[in-house]
Chain A
Amino acid sequence: MDENRAGDIAVSIEGISKFFPYQGQGNLRQLPAMFIESLRRAARRTGLGTKAGRAPARRAPSSPAGHWALTDVSFTIRRGEVLGIIGRNGSGKTTLLKILSRVTAPTKGRATVDGRLAAMLSVGTGFHPLFSGRENIYMSGALLGLTRAEIEARYDAIVEFAEIGEFIDEPVKTYSSGMNARLGYAVAVEMSSDIFLLDEILAVGDMAFQSKCLSRMQESRNQGRTVVLVSHNLNVVKGYCDRVVLLEQGRVVKEGEPADVVSHYLSNMFESGEQTNLFERTDREGSGLLKVDRFWFEDELGRTVGVVVSGESCALCLHFDCGSIDGPVSAAVVITDLNGRWLSRLSTSVTHADFEPAMGGGVIRCTIPKLPLIEGEYAFAFRITAGGRLADHLENAGRFTVVTGDFYGTGRAETHSPIMIEHNWSVGDRNAA
């Protein structure tokens, strides 16, 4: 990085920190405190009541009521490179993109952007369902600060990229979710400027469209555009990024060659698997007679892990609370891809494993002796029935990462389709058939 000439830096991030205060619940008892605090601040601003002459420090977050999403993050992004940002959920990746796109301001530090940066942080932002694809393209362009002429110049490319065809004049609400995502992506790609920010955008569309997006991204890079990519898909990060930054709890813990950073990330994940809380999830269904409050993954030796290995044994553990339950409990886990498409359903009723939990709660352990999934990100849902009635059902309950292993014992990994099936090949004599 030392030999960078000035002007080769597209974005420079200097000591950025971001503090999010916890949002009050607007309770009445806080009102006097809020009032006094604002009076005190006003007094401080006008120099009354405090030691005069003290520099009016930018309201430093002194109270512990909040959390630091980013702490002293510094790095530079070179012009024309694809920079990947990886890290677990909650490591500050999205916050960083929001700061880069000026959607939110850093609490400390600054980001200097050389070039035009107009970006959508998610596909389809600002789409109005009642309007046609054409109208929404124009709207999105205007939202990104493009003039009418600039939008017109990109219009054909967008329609072609999105593969919408004659539906372009139909209202967007009549589109399939795939069409919607493709149009949104096309808009985001074609309309963004010198610096292009992508947040987990590859979770949309089918495989073919995803690979099209990736090659379009490379094309952008070749045109001299800078791409910042936030993704959980480590294959993509390894395959397409020039450099990767690893965030952990809001700090940059590693930066450099994609392969190095990704393997550092994974080894870290192995060592520090943790339990994920679910009790705050309110999007569940069921009587709540039995309630799953956290989950984690275990490896063969029963250690909590952050990633699981393809072809090896792993267990999904669901910790639950319950009262007294009459009759057997059956549990089912559905493994899905990130689009929510079912890959496999594992159920206690099919395997005659319904159980009667002890009063108070316990752990449901679903062990997969030889994980047949290829490397990538997956999600799961669960559904638990107690005494014949739905007790707890949660879609998209959690995500997990599978890393490459040796499923077939041949040292080679399948990469084309998500599920591996144990099988044998044999070739016989044609006369013997």
Chain B
Amino acid sequence: MAWPDLAEVFRSRALIFMLAKRQIRGRYAQAALGIFWALIQPVSYMLVLNLFFALTAHFPSRAVPYPLFLLSGLLLYQFFVKCVNEGAGSLTGNEALLGKIFLPRLIFPIVPIAVASIDLAVSMSLFIILYFIFGFMFPLKAILAIGVLAVFFVLALGMAILLSALCAKYKDLRLALPTITQLLFFSSPIVYDVTLVPEKYWLIWGLNPLVGLIPALRWCVFDGVEPPSLALFGMSVAIALIVLVVGLFYFHRVERDLVDAL
């Protein structure tokens, strides 16, 4: 078992950047609202969910105003889903390029991460603006959010790499993904708080890696929120690392015969 040539990928960073830029520009090139579309998805979700849950079940969101509570979860969830969906299709969708020119294949699942990061940055700036509008000030511990985001990136990257290779081999998986990500939405603490789920289920619940990460991020940026469960956070970190390592190994194993299988 061998490890993919990561140095080669690092040398191709300019290409990754260009491919990401091209995808973003290509997507927004003829849209009048351009990059603002990156805002519309989280905002519309936030408004609809806020309205819905204000009218029906009222989930306690502790010291955090519910719109901000929602948005903080939505940002991460939507980033993750974009990475997973686009990453999963990154090999099958680039068949034309893969079959005509030799490139380090590993760059393909990395490009969507870069693209989703731009969207994340845009929606995050909206979050920060709302944050100040609601009269919050970042506490010192907010610096830890960088660490949580780093785990998020590792997780998203690992997922994109693993799924891209799996989807190239097992075409059914791509069709199953929308269902899986939808289930992920309801099983993650986005619209509700961690305390809603009894602690005895946490060992199973924590297999969803978002369960440890979203509350951790909320704790970083909001005062008066209960500290996140270290067990859940630890599980998320472990899952992120395992997925990345397994993803890299598996990717390398199928890479050789990949073009023929597309």
A residues in contact (CB < 8 Å) with B:
20-21, 23, 26, 98, 101-105, 118-122, 125-126, 128, 130-131, 138-139, 142-145, 147-148
Given A118-B102, A126-B97, A143-B101, do A104 and B22 touch, yes or no (CB 8 Å)? no
Residue interface mask B82-108, A partner, CB < 8 A = 1 = 000000000000001111111100000
Q: Does B180 contact A (CB under 8 A)?
A: no
**Which chain A residue lies CB-closest to B258?**
A104
Chain B interface helix/strand/loop/mixed: helix
A128 B22 Cβ-Cβ under 8 A: yes
B100 A142 Cβ-Cβ under 8 A: no
6 tightest A-B CB contacts, nearest first = A102-B102, A125-B100, A121-B100, A142-B15, A104-B259, A130-B29
Distance in Å from the Cβ of B193 to the closest Cβ of chain A?
40
Beyond the given pairs A26-B172, A130-B26, 11 more chain A to chain B contacts, judged by CB atoms under 8 angstroms and listed by A's residue number, are: A21-B260, A103-B259, A104-B259, A105-B257, A121-B100, A125-B96, A125-B97, A126-B101, A128-B26, A143-B103, A144-B101
Chain B residues, Cβ within 8 Å of A139: 18, 22
B14 A103 Cβ-Cβ under 8 A: no
B residues in contact (CB < 8 Å) with A:
12, 14-15, 18, 22, 25-26, 29-30, 96-103, 171-172, 256-257, 259-261
Distance in Å from the Cβ of A200 to the closest Cβ of chain B?
13
Given A23-B261, A130-B30, do A138 and B100 touch, yes or no (CB 8 Å)? no
Chain B residues, Cβ within 8 Å of A121: 99-101
**Cα(A120)–Cα(B257), bound, Å:** 19
A103 B102 Cβ-Cβ under 8 A: yes
**Which chain A residue lies CB-closest to B27?**
A130
**Cα(A102)–Cα(B102), bound, Å:** 6
**Cα(A122)–Cα(B97), bound, Å:** 10
Given A26-B171, A130-B30, A142-B15, do A122 and B100 touch, yes or no (CB 8 Å)? yes
Q: List 27 A-B contacts (CB under 8 A).
A: A23-B261, A26-B171, A98-B259, A103-B98, A103-B101, A103-B102, A103-B259, A104-B99, A105-B257, A118-B102, A120-B101, A121-B99, A122-B100, A125-B96, A125-B97, A125-B100, A128-B26, A130-B26, A130-B30, A139-B22, A142-B14, A142-B15, A142-B18, A143-B15, A143-B97, A144-B101, A145-B15
**Cα(A26)–Cα(B173), bound, Å:** 12
Distance in Å from the Cβ of A359 to the closest Cβ of chain B?
42
B100 A103 Cβ-Cβ under 8 A: yes
**Which chain A residue lies CB-closest to B16?**
A142
**Cα(A131)–Cα(B19), bound, Å:** 12
Distance in Å from the Cβ of A292 to the closest Cβ of chain B?
30
**Cα(A288)–Cα(B22), bound, Å:** 43
Distance in Å from the Cβ of A373 to the closest Cβ of chain B?
32
Distance in Å from the Cβ of A231 to the closest Cβ of chain B?
18
Distance in Å from the Cβ of A14 to the closest Cβ of chain B?
18
Distance in Å from the Cβ of A191 to the closest Cβ of chain B?
11
**Which chain A residue lies CB-closest to B15?**
A142
B102 A101 Cβ-Cβ under 8 A: yes
Chain B residues, Cβ within 8 Å of A143: 15, 97, 101, 103
**Cα(A119)–Cα(B25), bound, Å:** 26
Distance in Å from the Cβ of A253 to the closest Cβ of chain B?
25
Chain B residues, Cβ within 8 Å of A147: 14
**Cα(A21)–Cα(B260), bound, Å:** 9
